[in-house]
């Protein structure tokens, strides 16, 4: 998987115009309940963030694309949970991780609306919290506000983390 993400980052370096659409798709997949369990894309998002500081890619469109992709992934996961309720647990790949949805349910019950924001930053919870919010019929607008705000913050954190790492490595390399 790592080699695919490296190749993707190299593609973005060579074709900077594709940075925002690729980040949108990666963030969508990382936030979509079923896909994120199979293809964790956060590493590729950090790698693309690292390119921002060294290649001249504009941060703002890439950040916005990441936020939109993440919000859409969680919205679809919420809708899926709302529509299919407890039947979701029997669908692959969630059926292979029986405790995951239960942990998401417990988390949503305990934290309510803030669980959407908190869960965004923790891998397995990122996949199950929006589903659980839909299953428990968290009020739609409360979910969406937390979803969009957390998606924008999450996108900025991953991209800036990569950017800061690349700048620190460049500074260290120059000092040697």
pLDDT (tens digit per residue) in 52-93: 878 888 999 999 999 999 999 999 999 999 999 878 878 877
Please say if the pLDDT value at position 125 is more than 70.
yes
Q: Which whole number is the average pLDDT over 99-120?
A: 87
Please say if the pLDDT value at position 1 is more than 70.
no
Cα–Cα distance between 51 and 85 in angstroms, integer? 41
Cα–Cα distance between 19 and 158 in angstroms, integer? 14
Structure tokens at 15: 């074709």
Please say if the pLDDT value at position 99 is more than 90.
no
What is the pTM assigned to this prediction? Answer: 0.89
Report pLDDT for 166.
83
Q: Which whole number is the average pLDDT over 84-109?
A: 80
Closest to 154 (Cα-Cα) out of 36, 60, 42, 33: 42
Report pLDDT for 101.
77
Please say if the pLDDT value at position 3 is more than 80.
no
Report pLDDT for 89.
78
Q: Is 42 or 138 the better-scoring residue by pLDDT?
A: 138
Q: How many CA atoms lie less than 13 Å away from 132 in the CB half-sphere?
A: 24
Please say if the pLDDT value at position 171 is more than 90.
no
């Amino acid at each position: 998987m790592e080699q695919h993400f490296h190749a993707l980052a190299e593609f973005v370096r060579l074709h900077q115009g594709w940075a925002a659409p690729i980040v949108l798709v990666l963030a969508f997949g990382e936030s979509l309940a079923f896909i994120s369990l199979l293809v964790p894309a956060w590493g590729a998002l950090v790698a693309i963030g690292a390119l921002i500081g060294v290649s001249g890619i504009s941060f703002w469109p890439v950040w916005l694309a990441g936020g939109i992709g993440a919000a859409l992934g969680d919205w679809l996961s919420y809708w899926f949970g709302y529509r299919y309720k407890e039947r979701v647990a029997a669908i692959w790949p969630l059926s292979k991780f029986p405790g995951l949805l239960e942990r998401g349910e417990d988390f949503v019950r305990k934290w309510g609306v803030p669980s959407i924001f908190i869960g965004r930053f923790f891998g397995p919870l990122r996949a199950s919290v929006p589903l659980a919010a839909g299953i428990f019929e968290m009020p739609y607008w409360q979910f969406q506000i937390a979803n969009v705000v957390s998606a924008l913050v999450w996108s900025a954190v991953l991209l800036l983390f990569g950017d800061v790492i690349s700048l620190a490595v460049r500074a260290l390399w120059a000092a040697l």
